[in-house]
Amino acid sequence: MTAETLEAVSRTGRTTIAEALPLTGNEAITRGAWEAGVRVAAAYPGTPSTEILESFADYDPAEVTAQWSVNEKVALDTAIGASFAGVRALAAMKHVGLNVASDSLMSMSYIGAHGGLVIVVCDDPGIHSSQNEQDTRLFAKLAGVPILEPADAQEALEYTKVAFALSEEFETPVILRGTTRLSHTRSVVRVGARTVPPSRGFVGDHTRTVTIPANARRLHPKVIAREAALARWFSETPLTLRDDGDGDGSTPEGAAGGRCGIVTTGIGYLYVKEAAPHLPVLKLAGSYPLAAEAIRAFAATVDRLIVVEELEPALEEAIRGLGLPCEGKSLFPRLGELSVELLREGLAKAGLMAPPAPVPPAAIAPMARPPVLCSGCPHTASFLALRSIGAHVAGDIGCYTLAAIDPLRSMDTCVCMGASIGNAIGMAKAGAEKPVVATIGDSTFLHSGIPPLIDAVYNKADITVVILDNHITAMTGGQDHPGTGRTLRGEPAPRVDYAALCRAVGIDWVRVVDPYDVGRLMQTLREATAYRGVSVVIAERPCVLDPVKIKGAPLMVRPEGCIACQACMNLGCPSITWSGELFEGRHKVAIDATTCIGCTLCAQVCTTDCIQPVTA
């Protein structure tokens, strides 16, 4: 799309000549960081934050050093180091990634930023692609660092620039909170030029940057004082917006409550403006520190105060702490994404609008379509083999987590990134009556699987670890990592040798196997689980989609040979379907040649050898 030049006035009041570009929220954050003069950016991929770092690959590497890190803590530590050196730095992660990085965040709250330090954290209300929907705003309060919450892509760009300035003015890390809806919604954004502030030089003050107890005790009161100063800034900044609405804010005739006002942040503002444009709104720049004076002034103009926020009642409880009565989670859900429909239902419950008309049920119920592994996914055979040996399987985070559901159903637990090996140690130490296996992907192994593997060796656990090496971070869209041999920008890099690494930590029994060789895979797993001590099986086969889509000669089913035994159906391959023919009352199978990649897994498990390559 051709960029359109226009004169734009940002919400901070600065007039610029800018282009209008169609950007997602994530792309806008990247653009805002680039315009703010960021010099170093690091992240670990995780939906919905992944595209922030990917977008940096489009910018000149001489301007911004951007890199994938092995996990979120390393990403934040990298950004912290750049801040120590006096330049602006950014770390990006999804909400659960902040759990991994929180140790560094808590100490940096005391130390404070030198060069601007921004931590972009993208929450996932509704759990579209996560193991929970925790609320990062609570982390901001716990750490004592400010959080900014943009509502749309334009604000995402502007708030990112403000975040860097705020970080340096108050010498604090700043969290920029996104959500799935903001991250992936595209809109026209006014963009500007890059301005790079001069480096501040190395911080050079060990009484501040070394958090020994004596220093930390002296620094903590500064955090408290900073919170009060930031609360004043949040009350006075133009980013905290007073919107009087299209009406007078009164409730419908006959309803109690008089004039009503809404307090909200982030994308909640857009929902409110669509659902109830007649109501006055106080849109806060962020939830913490609380803009107490702005809220008190707004509350004095209304009779009822309603808080609209996604997930936890962080604002609602804080406002009540000011001694101001308000309503919030009594009207709106504490879980899942907000929506215009939910806003209308809640406001109707509050007596602020007529109840929405009931939506008639659809005439045709949608067919349930559970997620499945891709056709030819190398993980399929690994979990089919694990099911056949009857092991307790501690799983991990990745595409292969789908092995927990039908038809593979061969994963017993999945807690969080890197937990599988530690969980397996505990199962074995508890005296599990079956073999104990931990399954972990290559990227996840590098993220947080190596320390528990060392622990397993050190504590002599009787477990098998299966490293599912598909040469990519597949679940989040095919990002590179230290095991792929490429950097974020596609440049060659050293590649981790998993077998050598495992032997280096003291593991004697290590085997590498191709999961497409089903017979050898099953035999290797039987030998691994029979071994007493820590054994490692590296199931190595590239992902069928990334970095290129792999497709060989497709297969077909000879219908005269099919006895409807369903052995191939147990793979859960989306290319295998039921045919219209029957055998002894059971449906025979067919293969969709347009989606089959010719992996031959189905042919290897077929009991009648009726699956053959397609012939012209």
Q: Is residue 162 part of a domain?
A: yes
| pLDDT reported for residue 250 | 55
Is a pLDDT exceeding 80 seen at residue 167?
A: yes
**Final residue before a domain boundary, out of 189, 213, 236:** 236
Residues 441 and 531 in one domain: yes
CB atoms within 10 A of CB 542: 16
| pLDDT reported for residue 582 | 87
Q: Is residue 396 part of a domain?
A: yes
pLDDT, mean of residues 44-56:
96
| pLDDT reported for residue 10 | 35
Residues 301 and 382 in one domain: no
Is a pLDDT exceeding 50 seen at residue 556?
A: yes
pLDDT tens per residue across span 362-413: 778 777 777 889 999 999 999 999 999 989 999 999 999 999 988 889 999 9
**Cα(181)–Cα(337) distance, integer angstroms:** 9
Residue 182 token pair: 């903001």
Q: Is residue 545 part of a domain?
A: no
Q: Write phi, then psi, for 491 (nearest 5 degrees).
A: -80, 150
Residues 109 and 197 in one domain: yes
pLDDT tens per residue across span 125-143: 999 989 999 999 999 999 9
pLDDT tens per residue across span 198-245: 999 999 899 999 999 999 999 999 999 999 999 999 999 999 999 998
CB atoms within 10 A of CB 368: 5
CB atoms within 10 A of CB 293: 15
Is a pLDDT exceeding 70 seen at residue 251?
A: no
Q: Identify the H or E element spanning 53.
A: helix 51-56
The residue among 616 and 551 whose pLDDT is bigger is 551
- Domain CATH for 413: 3.40.50.970
Q: How confident is the model at residue 4 (pLDDT cuts 50, 70, 90)?
A: very low
Residues 193 and 102 in one domain: yes
Is a pLDDT exceeding 60 seen at residue 457?
A: yes
Is a pLDDT exceeding 90 seen at residue 303?
A: yes
Residues 39 and 186 in one domain: yes
**Cα(242)–Cα(240) distance, integer angstroms:** 7
- pTM for the complete prediction? 0.91
Is a pLDDT exceeding 80 seen at residue 616?
A: no
Is a pLDDT exceeding 70 seen at residue 16?
A: no
DSSP-assigned states of every residue in 406-427: TTT----B--STTHHHHHHHHH
pLDDT tens per residue across span 73-122: 999 999 999 999 999 999 999 999 999 999 999 999 999 999 999 999 99
On whether 568 is known to bind a ligand per the annotation, the reply is yes
On whether 599 is known to bind a ligand per the annotation, the reply is yes
The residue among 6 and 154 whose pLDDT is bigger is 154
| pLDDT reported for residue 11 | 35
Residues 165 and 21 in one domain: yes
**Final residue before a domain boundary, out of 299, 328, 349:** 349
- Domain CATH for 598: 3.30.70.20
Residues 285 and 170 in one domain: no
Which residues have C-beta within 8 Å of that of residue 614, sequence separation ≥ 6?
Answer: 553, 554, 555, 556, 593
Residues 464 and 502 in one domain: yes
**Please, what's the b/e burial string for 468-495 (b: 16 or more CB within 10 A of its CB; e: otherwise)?**
bbbbbbbbbebbbbbbbebbbeeeebee
Which residues have C-beta within 8 Å of that of residue 266, sequence separation ≥ 6?
Answer: 149, 150, 151, 177, 179, 182, 310
Residues 443 and 501 in one domain: yes
Q: Read off the amino acid at residue 584.
A: E
Q: How confident is the model at residue 360 (pLDDT cuts 50, 70, 90)?
A: confident
How many CA atoms lie less than 13 Å away from 538 in the CB half-sphere? 21
On whether 502 is known to bind a ligand per the annotation, the reply is no
Residues 87 and 162 in one domain: yes
pLDDT, mean of residues 5-20:
44
Average pLDDT, the chain: 92
Domain count, the chain: 4
On whether 377 is known to bind a ligand per the annotation, the reply is no
Which candidate, 575, 613, 579, places its Cα nearest to that of 592? 575
**Final residue before a domain boundary, out of 196, 214, 236:** 236
On whether 543 is known to bind a ligand per the annotation, the reply is no
| pLDDT reported for residue 548 | 79
Q: How confident is the model at residue 12 (pLDDT cuts 50, 70, 90)?
A: very low
CB atoms within 10 A of CB 259: 15
On whether 606 is known to bind a ligand per the annotation, the reply is yes
Tell me the C-alpha to C-alpha distance, in Å, between residue 27 and each of 33, 60, 396, 489. 10, 15, 29, 16
| pLDDT reported for residue 6 | 32
Cα pseudo-dihedral 34, 152, 92, 414, rounded to 10: -160
Q: Is residue 31 part of a domain?
A: yes
**Cα(363)–Cα(342) distance, integer angstroms:** 23
Is a pLDDT exceeding 70 seen at residue 529?
A: yes
Residues 480 and 520 in one domain: yes
pLDDT tens per residue across span 182-200: 999 999 999 999 999 999 9
Q: Is residue 369 part of a domain?
A: no
Residues 444 and 523 in one domain: yes
Q: Is residue 86 part of a domain?
A: yes
Q: Is residue 270 part of a domain?
A: yes
Q: Is residue 249 part of a domain?
A: yes
Domain of residue 131, residue span: 4-236
- Domain CATH for 250: 3.40.50.920
Is a pLDDT exceeding 70 seen at residue 40?
A: yes
